[in-house]
Chains A and B, each alone.
Chain A
Amino acid sequence: MQFECPHWTSRDSDFIPPRRRRDIIENELDGEATLFDPHNGNTYQLNQTSYVIWRQCDGRTTMREIAKCVTASFKVDVDTASDHVEQLVARLAESRLLELSEYYPLVHS
């Protein structure tokens, strides 16, 4: 099945709360992490910033809020942080590491 990588608008990120898949096995290592997808056996690596974002993907925190958290943690401006969050969430979604069903239709409606 083809999967289209989502393209967020700035407005999307105000209300989309990405949720990480609960069955993904994560191993934190010195602030970075590896993710293991038991469905396909793939392993992914997250650097420190990406891992902070991943942990915030709880299905309640919006991308905008995640970006603010990144701003506070890594001393970057909010636009840079928003770009980073949106890109990473898109990549995580593309790799099917997020549960998209709750908000994905909103993005493409």
Chain B
Amino acid sequence: MHRNPIHFRIGAIDLSLRSELDEVVQEFAALYRPFRKDGNDSDNSIEMEVRSDRRAWYGRRRYHVFGDDRTIGRSRRRPEVMPYLEWGINRQVIARHGEFLQVHAASLARGNAGVIFAANSGSGKSTLAAGLLSRGWKYLSDEFALIDAETQWLHPFPKALCIKSGAFKVVEQLNLHPWQRRYYVKAFKGRVGYLRPHDVSDQPLASPSPIRFVIFPKYIEGAHPRLFPLSRAQAAFSLAKYVMNSGTFGNRSASLLADVVRQAVCFGLESGPLEATCDLIESVLPE
């Protein structure tokens, strides 16, 4: 028998989690404690569920993760459950929240200025976001930026930052540690840990913010960090590669991206050591 769901509002996104597995529910609830709410007051809440089965008394338990009743993933390994949940939530946000143009990017705010860091996985977005967050920047999102299609403002979706094993040491140098020093396994990406924004800073969350900067980071090991200006056409062209729900907007998506960059200053970034990269960014982006 499944227990009652628990509900969250993570920035602009409402979701609930239901599971017969107490430890999964408690773990997720602890990771997202600041975003817990009492009941479901939304008619567009994403419904996540984790079930488990065991084919025979001697068999290993198998976990099934569902998003809105559709299978997201299944695994026999407990450390894969949380990453599947996280991934499933992202997938359902893409499917359900067509009011936002969704760009594969981390997004933060400095003062009232929203900043998008758009890049492929493994480019150092989350690590950079953690570094800037530790310097007092405000957090909007990690995996993807939610851009209101009407206003072109960034909206928050402040999920825990997913730090990959290659960046553990860098993050530890900031005296930050993955939540409860727990490590998970994400398919294809190996070991990951989650960094709660509230563990990095006392008041980490940003309100919806106008986009003033668009940056395309690329981590190059040992590189001297370098910011170089991009024309708005270059930025719109590059940003198009990172739109995750272009099908929702069809022919409008190109014009929306143009509107996004019209209000922004755009840069390419070759990032190197985290502190030096953050120094460079702060020297160019006024508070």
The B232-281 residues at the A interface (CB cut-off 8 A) are: 232-234, 236-237, 240, 246, 250-251, 253-255, 257-258, 261-262
Total contacting residues, chain A, CB less than 8 A:
15
Contacts of A45 in B (CB 8 A): 233-234, 236-237
B75 CB-CB contact with A under 8 Å: no
Main secondary structure on B side of the interface with A: helix
The main secondary structure of chain A at its interface with chain B is strand
Q: Is the CB of B236 within 8 A of A44?
A: no
A32 with B232, Cβ < 8 A, contacts A41-B246, A43-B237, A43-B240 known: yes
Give the residue of B231, B240, B250, B253 whose beta carbon is less than 8 angstroms from that of A29.
B231
Do B250 and A27 touch across chains, with their CB atoms under 8 A apart? Answer: no
> How many angstroms between the C-alpha atoms of A29 and B257 in the bound complex?
11
Within 8 Å of chain B (Cβ to Cβ): is A30? Answer: yes
Hey, which chain A residues are within 8 Å of B251, CB to CB? 25, 36, 38
A33 at the interface (CB under 8 A from B): yes
Q: Does A34 contact B (CB under 8 A)?
A: yes
A10 at the interface (CB under 8 A from B): no
Given A29-B233, A30-B231: 11 more A-B contacts, CB < 8 Å: A25-B254, A29-B258, A32-B233, A32-B234, A34-B233, A34-B254, A36-B254, A41-B246, A43-B254, A45-B233, A46-B233
Residues of B within 8 A of A (CB): 231-234, 236-237, 240, 246, 250-251, 253-255, 257-258, 261-262
